[in-house]
A and B are shown apart, each in its own frame.
Chain A
Amino acid sequence: KNQVEQSPQSLIILEGKNCTLQCNYTVSPFSNLRWYKQDTGRGPVSLTIMTFSENTKSNGRYTATLDADTKQSSLHITASQLSDSASYICVVSAEDAGGTSYGKLTFGQGTILTVHP
């Protein structure tokens, strides 16, 4: 069964500090991995999308890494801001036979990040 596990479940940091969120997956065959940010009561917003050939991808203060061999990804947030307080969701897309992946996204439970002043 395809699964995505995220850790920690929640994290509290002070404004200006860095943090790293973890994602382990067992989705197979792997197509791509996405990180989303979801503010309370809002829809998820895409941060990064990576294929198996990409080791790292940045989007401003967000840097995602991917190790397809160990099936692990991380999201590093640099110089955190109060607006970074949100749930961060790791999502993995699987390929069907023949290379399609209609809707086969597996979502993690998310890491709730709280940034305090």
Chain B
Amino acid sequence: DSGVTQTPKHLITATGQRVTLRCSPRSGDLSVYWYQQSLDQGLQFLIHYYNGEERAKGNILERFSAQQFPDLHSELNLSSLELGDSALYFCASSVADRTHYNSPLHFGNGTRLTVT
């Protein structure tokens, strides 16, 4: 058990809808990262927050947004959903604010989003 909790585990929704994915990091971890893993694709970095502040953005669509709250949990909001947004969305946490060698990432088990 990585200590990172993601809810819900599965989500099925229709095109055009909006959903919110939630992540609770490991106790003591200040960084939260969001990744998207589509079928047969590698993990794609979306966004990174550290202690409530946005630190880096990857290939995140404008329809997607995220935030990290004072209690350090994070939410990823996906709106105007399209079929191509169907994927596994992973949250990872780490204690540090950067990916240097002594800062392993701990991944949750993901939220599987299916857009129909």
* Chain A residues with a Cβ under 8 A of chain B: 4, 31-32, 34, 36, 41-46, 49-51, 89, 93, 100-105, 107-110
By a CB distance below 8 angstroms, the chain A residues around B84 are none
Per the bound structure, the CA–CA distance linking A110 and B43 in Å amounts to 10
Say how far B9's CB is from chain A's closest CB, in angstroms. Answer: 9
User: Which residues of the other chain, A, contact B106 by a CB distance below 8 angstroms?
Assistant: 46
B99 with A93: CB separation less than 8 A: yes
Contacts of B44 in A (CB 8 A): 107
Contact residues of B between 57 and 102, Cβ < 8 Å to A: 58, 90, 92, 97-102
Task: Answer whether residue B18 sits at the interface, using C-beta atoms and an 8 A cutoff.
Answer: no
Cα-based distance from A68 to B45 in the complex (angstroms): 24
Q: Which residue of B lies closest to A50 (CB)?
A: B101
Q: A43-B2, A44-B43 are in contact. Are A105 and B108 (CB under 8 A)?
A: no
Which residues of B are interface residues toward A (Cβ below 8 A)?
2, 4, 33, 40-45, 47-48, 55-56, 58, 90, 92, 97-102, 104-110, 112
- Interface hub of B55, B102, B105 (most chain A Cβ within 10 A): B105
- Chain B residue contacts of A100, Cβ below 8 A: 98
Least Cβ distance of B29 to chain A in Å? 14
Known A45-B2, A89-B42: A103·B109 in contact at CB below 8 Å: no
Residues of A within 8 A of B100 (CB): 31-32, 93, 101
B109 touches A42 (CB 8 A): yes
Contacts of B45 in A (CB 8 A): 103-105
Q: How far is the CA of A93 from the CA of B33 in the complex (A)?
A: 14
Residues of A within 8 A of B58 (CB): 103
Q: A31-B101, A51-B101, A103-B56 are in contact. Are A43 and B109 (CB under 8 A)?
A: yes
A68 to chain B, nearest CB (A): 13
- Given A103-B55, A103-B56, A103-B58, A43:B99 Cβ within 8 A: no
List, in ascending order, chain B residues with CB within 8 A of A32's CB: 99-101
Which residue of chain B is the closest to A48 with respect to CB atoms?
B104
List of A residues within 8 angstroms of B98 by Cβ: 100-102
